């Protein structure tokens, strides 16, 4: 197994997708806070990404108890303001204490026609607004079967970086989310996750140089307590983007615990 040569602060991010209203969200965050208390997680970041309508309530709970949880969103508009019905701007999210924004999740790409240009524009908007984009990339099963994984990931990563100033390169996070592993219960093996994350780092290095060593690359797709440890021990896997297993305090906290254990706590 490749050795981890550079220390990067791991991130365990919970993507709630379109689940839990704001009342349910408050309950989950409170339960999560209780579970996290038992885990020494001072050397890693934990974020949750609830639906927009929950953000205000969740911010309140996190703020009231100063919980060690970073607030994230699942999407943002690439526009600053104006006639964009249904959209939410980066500035609006920042006002709510949001620090991380998922950009180009495969569900946005596949179900809501978010193309590479929109991913790049959103990445730039998030950075300009002072927040951190978590750029999601990943191949379909068909692309993988056709041997196109490297080509697809390279194209998606380079497209997302389009127009991102060099000085902002180390402010991005990338999440490798193979589409065939999302919500299927079948995660990538740790070897496959490492291979893809290594490739992404090489693409980042080719485009942006040494800064690639500092950029965090997450794995996402059926991450759960049972496979979290094996995944995050990989040299180029700097954390996890968790969907289904982030909807229960116990399983999400167990994933945080498994990650913390790998980082020497
Ligand atoms: P999953 O989702 O963990 O339910 O597979 C991951 C994601 O889509 O971010």
Q: What is the pLDDT of residues 102-135, one digit of tens each?
A: 999 999 999 999 999 999 999 999 999 999 999 9
Q: Are strands 70-73 and 239-242 parallel, antiparallel or unpaired?
A: unpaired
Q: Report which secondary-structure segment, H or E, holds 12.
A: strand 11-15
Is 145 contained in some domain?
A: yes
Q: Is 138 in the pocket of ligand 1 (CB under 6 A)?
A: no
Q: Determine if ligand 1 sits within 6 Å of the CB of residue 221.
A: yes
Mutate to test the pocket of ligand 1, among 222, 247, 255 (most ligand atoms within 8 A of CB): 222
Tokens 């068909």 identify what position? 142
CATH number for position 248: 3.20.20.70
pLDDT-based confidence at 247, cuts 50/70/90? very high
How many CA atoms are closer than 13 Å to the CA of 247, on its beta-carbon side? 12
Residue matched to tokens 């693409």? 203
Residue 82 Cα to ligand 1 midpoint, Å, equals: 32
Number of domains in the chain: 1
Q: Residue 185 CA: which ligand 1 atom is closest? A: 5
Residue 211 Cα to chain centre, angstroms: 19
> Is 231 touching ligand 1 by the criterion CB < 6 Å?
no
**108 in any annotated domain:** yes
Pair of tokens at residue 171 = 């402010």
Distance, CA of 37 to CA of 31 (rounded, Å): 10
C-alpha dihedral sign at 100, 101, 105, 107: positive
Q: What are phi and psi of 122, to 5 degrees?
A: -70, -40
137-181 pLDDT tens trace? 999 999 999 999 999 999 999 999 999 999 999 999 999 999 999
CA of 224 to the centre of ligand 1 (A): 10
From the CA of 16, how far away is ligand 1's center (Å)? 9
Determine the structural domain holding residue 125 and report its residue range.
11-19+39-52+70-261
**Per-residue pLDDT at 2:** 61
Q: How far apart are CA 70 and CA 3, in angstroms?
A: 29
Task: Indicate the DSSP class of residue 189.
Answer: P
Residue 28 lies in a domain: no
Angle, alpha carbons 145-75-99 (nearest 5°): 115
Sign of CA dihedral 158, 114, 101, 35: negative
Contact assessment for residue 89 and residue 81, using Cβ atoms and an 8 Å cutoff = yes
- Is the residue at 59 inside a domain? no
Output the CA angle 159-162-165, nearest 5 degrees: 145
Residue 34 domain-assigned (yes or no): no
In a domain, 146, yes or no: yes
DSSP string, 113-140: ---HHHHHHHHHHHHHTT-EEEEEE---
**pTM greater than 0.85:** yes
d(C-alpha 28, C-alpha 197), whole Å: 31
- Is 187 inside any structural domain? yes
> Is residue 26 within 8 Å of residue 240, measured between CB atoms?
no
Reported as a single tens digit per residue, the pLDDT across 44-67 is 999 999 999 999 999 999 999 999
């Amino acid at each position: 197994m490749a050795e981890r040569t550079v220390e990067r602060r791991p991130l365990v991010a919970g993507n709630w997708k379109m689940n839990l209203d704001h009342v349910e969200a408050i309950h989950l965050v409170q339960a999560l806070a209780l579970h996290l208390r038992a885990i020494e997680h001072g050397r890693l970041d934990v974020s949750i990404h609830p639906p927009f309508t929950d953000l205000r309530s969740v911010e309140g709970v996190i703020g009231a108890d100063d919980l060690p949880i970073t607030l994230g969103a699942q999407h943002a508009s690439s526009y600053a303001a104006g006639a964009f019905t249904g959209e939410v701007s980066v500035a609006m999210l920042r006002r709510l204490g949001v620090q991380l924004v998922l950009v180009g999740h495969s569900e946005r790409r596949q179900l809501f026609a978010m193309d590479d240009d929109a991913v790049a524009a959103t990445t730039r908007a998030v950075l300009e607004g002072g927040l951190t984009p978590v750029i999601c990339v990943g191949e379909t099963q068909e692309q993988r079967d056709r041997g196109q994984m490297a080509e697809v990931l390279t194209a998606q990563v380079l497209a997302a970086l389009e127009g991102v100033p060099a000085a902002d390169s180390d402010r991005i996070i990338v999440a490798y989310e193979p589409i065939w592993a999302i919500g299927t219960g079948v995660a990538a093996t740790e070897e496959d996750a490492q291979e893809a994350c290594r490739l992404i780092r090489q693409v980042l290095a080719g485009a942006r140089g040494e800064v690639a060593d500092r950029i965090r690359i997450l794995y996402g797709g059926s991450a759960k307590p049972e496979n979290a440890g094996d995944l995050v021990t990989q040299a180029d896997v700097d954390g996890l983007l968790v969907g289904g297993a982030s909807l229960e305090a116990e399983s999400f906290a167990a994933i945080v615990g498994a990650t913390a254990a790998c980082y020497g706590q």
